[in-house]
Amino acid sequence: MGVHDDETGANVDRLVREYLASLEAAEADRVIALFAPGGIVDSPLYGTMPAAEFYPALFADTASSRLTLRATMTGSTDGRTVVSFWFDFDWTLSTGEPAPFTVVDVAELDEHGLIERLHIVYDTHPIRDAFSDAHDGEN
């Protein structure tokens, strides 16, 4: 398997499955447990913030979500594992407004397999108006 052994691949698969399941269930403590202490999220809508603040903010804005994994890609940089997962996020805002999008999350993992930094990558244009309306135009 190149630079990654079977154990790393199984751990990555478990991480991605648990991340998506906890995100879909809107369980902040469960998703934050996948992050290293002080883990950071870079989001196109919310900006850069600690994971411990990002997920409660996201879930406060969420009425429901359904996630569908398309693919997982694993690589490395500077000897560290980087996992990218491409998925459909069928998001319904707390206002009831649908705001679905397709996204790639890029997770930089520490030596324990926890997420140190998560980069969320997608085009916000199709959902920005609904998001802004939900925040009274503040974004």
User: What per-residue confidence (pLDDT) applies to 91?
Assistant: 84
Of 135, 137, 25, 2, residue with least CA distance to 81: 2
pLDDT at 4: 47
Domain annotation covers residue 119: yes
Confirm if 85 and 95 have CB atoms less than 8 A apart: no
**Structural contact between residues 84 and 69, judged by C-beta atoms closer than 8 angstroms:** no
More confident residue, 78 or 48: 48
Does the pLDDT value for residue 15 go beyond 80?
yes
What is the Cα–Cα distance from 41 to 100, expressed in whole angstroms?
Answer: 20
Q: Which amino acid is at 84?
A: S
Name the pTM for this structure: 0.84
Q: What's the first-to-final CA gap in the chain, in angstroms?
A: 44
- pLDDT tens column, 78-118: 889 999 999 999 988 888 888 888 999 999 999 999 999 99
For residue 38, give the CATH number of its domain: 3.10.450.50
> Would 39 be classed as within a structural domain?
yes
Domain total of the chain = 1
Q: What phi and psi, each to the nearest 5 degrees, are found at residue 24?
A: -65, -35
Determine the structural domain holding residue 98 and report its residue range.
Answer: 6-134
